[in-house]
Amino acid sequence: MNKIILTIATILAVSFANGQETKTDGKEGLKFGVKGGVNFANLTGDFDPSMKVGFHIGGFMEYKVSEKFVLQPELLFSTQGAKYKDDQVGEGFSVAGETNIKLSYLNLPIMAKYYVTNKFSFEAGPQIGVLLSAKNEYGYTGTIQGVPVSESGEIDIKDDLNSIDFGINFGAGYDFNDKISVGLRYNLGLSEISEYYYFDKNSVFQLSLGYKF
């Protein structure tokens, strides 16, 4: 995993360096910037989850292929996962439980953007993610045979999940000016991230604010 992270970081570092060199030469085809925003994350699988609010932050390179077409690789730290409730009632017991699956990824999207107008664009492209951490935070309260019960804790589940995640992104963006832009994106997970748990794929909506240097 460390080799993958190093390779991704090296690719973007070289791209950013080229961007600086290109800008010095007076060309406007290659730029770079930073972006960040909020995630509305979820997981698919054999359970009934609810969305989990997280965030993403990182950098990007923008290469203008033509007046309408732009390539934009990014490197983003992203917090994802899902929440769900597991209430159980039976003869002699009643327990209300809640679980919070907390995942963090280093994601590399490579987006192709098409400008419908000078400011508004659609985008799509693949994404590879490297799992950095995974926690299962749980808690429950209730009664069993009239006796109150309560427990909470956190389990590290990183070793139980696949370290690489593949997906595809779809979205749209709007450039307020040459520096500031906003974007809305959906990440559809294509690969199963777990062989042992009830959840299998990532599903994330992202609202971003970007700044180009």
For the chain, which residues make up each domain, given as ranges? 33-212
- Residue percentage of the chain with pLDDT more than 70: 87
Q: List, as own/partner pairs, every contact residues 54-57 make where C-beta atoms lie below 8 angstroms and the sequence separation is at least 24, other chains included.
A: 54/78, 54/79, 54/80, 54/81, 55/79, 56/107, 56/206, 56/208
33-212 belongs to CATH 2.40.160: yes
Q: Are strands 93-115 and 69-90 parallel, antiparallel or unpaired?
A: antiparallel
- pLDDT of 26 reads 40
The CA R_g of the chain, rounded to the nearest whole Å, is 21
Mean pLDDT on 5-25: 50
Q: What share of the chain is helix, strand, coil (3-state, %, to 5)?
A: 10, 70, 20
Task: Quickly list DSSP for 152-182.
Answer: EEEEE-GGGB-SEEEEEEEEEEEESSSSEEE
State the average pLDDT for the chain.
87
In this structure, are residues 57 and 79 in contact, taking their beta carbons and an 8 Å threshold?
A: no
In tens, the pLDDT along 126-185 reads: 999 999 999 999 898 888 877 888 888 999 999 999 999 999 999 999 999 999 999 999
Q: Could you give the angle at the alpha carbon of 110 between the alpha carbons of 105 and 115, nearest 5°? A: 130
- pLDDT of 8 reads 53
| pTM of the model as a whole | 0.82
- pLDDT of 172 reads 98
